[in-house]
Amino acid sequence: MMTDGKDTKNDPADRGERIAKVLARLGVASRRDAEKLIAEHRVVLNGETVTTPATFVKDGDKIELDGERLGRKQKTRLFLYHKPPGLITTAKDPERRTTVFETLPSNLPRLISVGRLDLNTEGLLLLTNDGELSRALELPSTGLKRTYRVRVYGDYGGEDVLVKKLEKLKKGLFWKGVRYSSIEATLDEQQKADGHNYWITMTLTEGKNREIRNVMEAIGYKVSRLIRIAYGPFELGEMNREEIIEIPTKTMKSLLPETVSQKISG
């Protein structure tokens, strides 16, 4: 049917939105993880199992995940969480290890993480009910820096050798088939006399899988402790382990880049 010279059948606005984008906006998961849910046949649209992310959703359509009806988009909420070591940052773990989400208070909405911290990494983890916001905060193009305190050991050349190697990280490096961008790394001024262990502060923008551990291995050191202390404008500060703090909407919008704050609902 033709209307005002346009073929509405092929009009993207008439088709609705891709289901992965809708799931992300509902706070179910990031778009990438939403596609995994679809591949696992866990998503149902109007009574039929969704088999492809190229499925479109219109107003009034009924979406279910694992048999649970999903409602309308909620007000965007963002939480800071002090993750202890020993927790997995995933909704479900095949090995039945305890996940971050199993430790959260029961009165919180369905939350997803902004990026991930691996099993033994601790510190600041951002959690939100908005998958679109999660994705925006993760993108390197958004420019949010991640800062870590890192304890390392190895390469017995002393502090002077370590400092020189850390300076070279500003140029980035290529290690085991992966290119790592520039990393700011400085040796902490006050070091304890504990052999060949050193504390370093490292700041990066990419957040690739096991990036700090891999980069330090590339220059001859092993990471024995890894603590994220900041993510963009948000800081761990004096938060206790497993403590969770909600960021007010007004504060969220004022601290984040305009391209991100525009995605915040409420």
Q: Are 177 and 210 found together in one domain?
A: yes
Check if the beta carbon of residue 127 is closer than 8 Å to that of residue 247: no
Q: Are 56 and 170 found together in one domain?
A: no
Using left for φ > 0, alpha for ψ between -120 and 50, and beta otherwise, residue 210 falls in: left
**What is the CATH classification number for the domain harbouring 22?**
3.10.290.10
Q: Does 266 reside within a domain?
A: no
Q: Cα(230)–Cα(203) distance, rounded to whole angstroms?
A: 9
- Quick check: pTM over 0.85? no
Q: Are 226 and 150 found together in one domain?
A: yes
Distances (CA, A) of 217 to 133, 146, 165, 188: 33, 19, 12, 19
Q: Are 255 and 205 found together in one domain?
A: no
Tokens of 113: 């993480």
96-112 tens-digit pLDDT: 899 999 999 999 988 98
Tokens of 74: 């909620």
Q: Is the pLDDT of residue 14 over 70?
A: no
For the ranges 5-19, 155-169, 236-250, the maximum mean pLDDT occurs at 236-250
Q: Given this model, what pLDDT does residue 38 score?
A: 92
Residue with tokens 């980069």: 215
Q: Cα(91)–Cα(111) distance, rounded to whole angstroms?
A: 9
Count of domains in the chain? 3
49-88 tens-digit pLDDT: 999 989 998 877 889 888 888 866 678 999 999 999 999 9
Q: Given this model, what pLDDT does residue 2 score?
A: 33
Q: Are 137 and 153 found together in one domain?
A: no
In order, the DSSP letters of 178-205 are EEE---EEEE-SS--S-TTEEEEEEEES
Q: Residue 16 is part of which domain span?
A: 2-69
Average pLDDT over residues 193-218: 87
Q: Are 127 and 176 found together in one domain?
A: no
* Active site residues per annotation: 118
